[in-house]
Chains A and B, each alone.
Chain A
Amino acid sequence: MAQAQTVEKKQMRTPIESGCPDGMQYMHPLMVKNFGNWKYHDRPRPGVLHHVAYSGDEIWTVRVGTQRQLGPYEINLLCDIVDQYGEGHVRFTIRSNLEVMVSKWEKVGPLIQAFNDAGYPVGGTGNSVTMISHTQGWLHCDIPGTDASGVVKSLMDELYEEFVKEEMPNRVHITTSCCQINCGGQGDIAINVQHTKPPKINHDLVANVCERPSVVARCPVAAIRPAIVNGKPSLEVDEKKCICCGACYPPCPPMQINDPEHSKLAIWVGGKNSNARSKPMFQKLVAAGLPNNPPRWPEVAAVVKKILYTYKKDARDWERVGDWVERIGWPRFFELTGLPFTKFHIDNWRGARNSLNASAHIRF
Chain B
Amino acid sequence: MSDARTPPKDPTRHSTYVPKEKKSTKAFHPTPMLDQLESGPWPSFVTGLKRLAHDNNMMVDLLGQLEHSYKTRLGYWKGGTVSVFGYGGGIIPRFSEVAAMFPESKEFHTLRVQPPAGNHYTTKLLRQLSNSWNKWGSGLIAFHGQTGNIMFIGSTSENTQHFFDEINEYGFDLGGAGPCVRTAMSCVGAARCEQSCTNEHRIHRTLVNNFIDDMHRPALPYKFKFKVSGCPNDCMNSIQRADFAVIGTWRDDMQVDQQGVKEYVKGHGRKYTIDNVIARCPTKALSLNDDDTLDVDNKSCVRCMHCINVMTKALKPGKDHGITLLIGGKRTLKIGDTMGTVIVPFMKMETDEDYEKLRELAATVIDFWAENGLEHERCGEMIERIGLANFLEGIGVEVDPNMIAHPRTSSYVRMDDWDQEAQKWIDRKNQQAA
A interface with B by C-beta (< 8 Å): 12-28, 31-32, 35-36, 38-42, 51, 59, 61, 65-80, 82-83, 88-94, 96, 98-99, 101, 109, 112-113, 115-122, 133-147, 149-150, 153-154, 156-157, 160, 164, 180-186, 214, 217-218, 220, 245, 247, 253, 258, 260, 263, 271, 273-280, 282, 292, 294-296, 316-318, 349-351
Contacts and interface: CB of A to CB of B under 8 A. Distances in A.
A218 to B, nearest CB: 7
In this complex, the member of A12, A15, A80, A160 whose beta carbon has the largest number of chain B beta carbons within 10 angstroms is A15
Residue among A51, A90, A139 with the most chain B CB within 10 A? A139
Given A40-B313, A67-B45, A21 B116 contact: yes
A79 B92 contact: no
Contacts of B39: 157
Contact of A116 (B1, B92, B116, B312): B1
Interface in B134-167: 134, 139-146, 148, 151, 153, 164-165
B99 interface: no
A246 to B, nearest CB: 9
A218 B334 contact: yes
Contacts of A82: 123
Interface residues of B, number: 142
B125 A26 contact: yes
Contact of B75 (A67, A74, A144, A186): A144
Given A38-B194, A70-B141, A15 B168 contact: yes
Interface in B255-297: 272, 275-276, 280, 282
Contacts of A89: 120-123
B333 A260 contact: no
Given A253-B78, A274-B305, A157 B85 contact: no
Contact of B131 (A36, A41, A72, A98): A72
A142 B77 contact: yes
Contacts of B334: 218, 220, 247
Nearest to A151: B37
Nearest to B145: A136
Contacts of A79: 123, 126-127
Given A295-B37, A351-B336, A19 B205 contact: yes
B127 A119 contact: no
B320 interface: no
A260 B192 contact: no
Contacts of A316: 275-276
Contact of A258 (B75, B110, B165, B187): B75
Interface stretch (B229-237, B352-360, B390-398, B413-421): B229-237
B192 A31 contact: yes
A185 B165 contact: no
B43 A94 contact: no
Contact of A141 (B15, B36, B75): B75
A247 B333 contact: yes
A116 B2 contact: yes
A203 B349 CA distance: 56
Nearest to A35: B190
B407 interface: no
A38 B306 contact: no
Contact of A119 (B8, B115, B337): B8
Given A180-B332, A275-B232, A19 B126 contact: no
